[in-house]
Amino acid sequence: MKKKINLQLMSITALTIIVTLILVSAVFYELFKKQVFEDLRIYAYVLADEQEESIIQPSKEVCGDLRITLLDAEGKVYYDSNFPVNEMENHLQRPEVQDAFQYGEGSIVRKSDTLDRNNYYYAVLLKNGCVLRVAREADNVFSFLRMTFPTLMPVVAFLLLACVALSTISTKSLLRPIEEIARDIDTKEEIHSYEELDPLIKTIRQQHEDIVKNAQMRQEFTANVSHELKTPLTSIYGYSELIENGMASGEDQVRFAGEIHKNAQRLLTLINDIIELSELDSHVQRRAFEKVDLYDLAGACVEMLQVQAEKHDVGLTLEGQSCFIMANRQLIEEVLYNLCDNAIRYNNPGGKVAVRIEKKETKILLVVEDNGIGISEEHQNRIFERFYRVDKSRSKSTGGTGLGLAIVKHIASEHGAEISLESEIGKGTKITVSFSACTDV
């Protein structure tokens, strides 16, 4: 990257120098050309005045580096200071001569036989109808470039060196913070960078932290899953081995088969929850959202769990009114089931569970409140973590996997809903999920 920046800066500098050089040479050449024509014009008019009086035909020595040509009205050369007249062709078609006949004067630049030199011609129409042409050889634009190059070379070299030095320093300081963060992304120390780079550094750090946290969570999750699966599998293995070896009498056989059945059931529930969570994690298929009546769904759930509530001697009721939200029906059913199931399982005989659907400003609230065992403050923050249980044996004995609330949390966040928890040990628990109301209702 440094090399690339240096190279780019140097190319830009070199290009700028070359363009400047060409432009400066072109401007100087234009000025020079103007001056040469001005000189030739003055010579031509001085000579033209003299020509009015008498036909002076100055010799080559008198003309110096000037070439003087006299043409009659037909363009025939009848005097030239540099060449024998009889060898010269008719000049009527020469552009400067044409202009002189038409407008009184004309000028042109033609390439000389000598490299880097041009011939400059200036022609004027005399009063007697003849044309006087004055010409001289002088530098052209290439000779200007050739002349300026040696003078400018040291400047160019100095500028290029300065550019290399400057670009090295600036790329170094530009890349220093990036190199620092690449070297030690975990460091909590402040990296001295510039304002524009701060958000990028912040984002990179945040993402790195998230990745590390995610990796840790996955590792923990895998370890927990293995552990959770191991327990029922070990039971199944043990009981089936006893039956296989004929070590179970008739009555025991039924009991062992019951244990195997219970543990297999547990394995199934666990695997279902794990699949559910990993599907939520992977975001593979974006689930279809539709307008659903939360009160309707809660009604169906309450009805479904009535038998279980009676089994635990817990009263389960529903209050509220029709309230619509944009949601995935299946996921919301899962939220309702998990919350109500917990409220029944972590309750006392004779206890109560109230499910309420309320509208509060732009929000639709799902409240599941029980007067069960409650959760002490130190556990309240953690019960939404995967496999976190307050009372492990109670959770297991009632068919819990420790994943229910983790699934609820995931689904809520997928719906942009917020969860709040109020609980007091011995008094009960109230969990509120707040959804955005469906706007077209």
For 2, 6, 156, 310, 360, the CA distances from 171, given in Å and listed in that order, are 6, 8, 22, 74, 57
Q: Does 432 bind ligand ADP (CB under 6 A)?
A: no
Half-sphere exposure of 279 (CA within 13 A, CB side): 12
For residue 440 the two structure tokens come to 């077209």
CB of 401 to ligand ADP, least distance (A): 5
Nearer Cβ to ligand ADP (232/402):
402
Among 25, 107, 402, 432, binds ligand ADP (CB under 6 A): 402
Q: Does 390 bind ligand ADP (CB under 6 A)?
A: yes
CB of 316 to ligand ADP, least distance (A): 13
Among 118, 140, 143, 395, binds ligand ADP (CB under 6 A): 395
CB of 216 to ligand ADP, least distance (A): 20
Contact partners, residue 421, CB within 8 Å, separation at least 6: 375, 380, 383, 429, 430, 431, 432
Closest C-alpha among 381, 301, 374 to residue 341: 301
Q: Contact at 8 Å (CB) between 242 and 248?
A: yes
CB of 188 to ligand ADP, least distance (A): 33
Nearer Cβ to ligand ADP (106/351):
351
CB of 402 to ligand ADP, least distance (A): 4
CB of 374 to ligand ADP, least distance (A): 6
With contacts defined by CB under 6 A, name the span among 150-158, 290-298, 316-324, 401-409 that binds ligand ADP: 401-409
For 252, 299, 325, 388, 389, the CA distances from 330, given in Å and listed in that order, are 41, 14, 13, 24, 25
**Segment 150 to 179, residues that bind ligand ADP, using CB under 6 A:** none
CB of 371 to ligand ADP, least distance (A): 10
Q: Does 106 bind ligand ADP (CB under 6 A)?
A: no
- Integer Cα distance of 11 and 13 in angstroms: 5
Burial of 169 (0-12, 13-18, 19+ CB in 10 A): exposed
Q: Contact at 8 Å (CB) between 68 and 80?
A: yes
Measured at the CA of 361, the angle between CA 430 and CA 301, to 5 degrees, comes to 45
Helical residues (DSSP H) of 324-373, grouped into ranges: 329-345
Contact partners, residue 134, CB within 8 Å, separation at least 6: 40, 43, 44, 47, 66, 67, 68, 121, 122, 123
With contacts defined by CB under 6 A, name the span among 119-127, 185-193, 206-214, 399-407 that binds ligand ADP: 399-407
Among 389, 411, 419, 433, binds ligand ADP (CB under 6 A): 389
Size of the site for ligand ADP (CB under 6 A): 23
**Segment 347 to 386, residues that bind ligand ADP, using CB under 6 A:** 370, 372-375, 383
Strands (E), 126-198: 131-139
For 339, 340, 402, 419, the CA distances from 377, given in Å and listed in that order, are 19, 21, 18, 16
Q: Does 429 bind ligand ADP (CB under 6 A)?
A: yes
Nearer Cβ to ligand ADP (77/375):
375
CB of 338 to ligand ADP, least distance (A): 6
Nearer Cβ to ligand ADP (136/430):
430
Q: Contact at 8 Å (CB) between 82 and 60?
A: yes
**Segment 327 to 346, residues that bind ligand ADP, using CB under 6 A:** 338, 342-343, 346
For residue 141 the two structure tokens come to 């634009």
Nearer Cβ to ligand ADP (263/395):
395
**Where does this chain bind ligand ADP (CB under 6 A)?**
338, 342-343, 346, 370, 372-375, 383, 388-391, 395, 400-406, 429
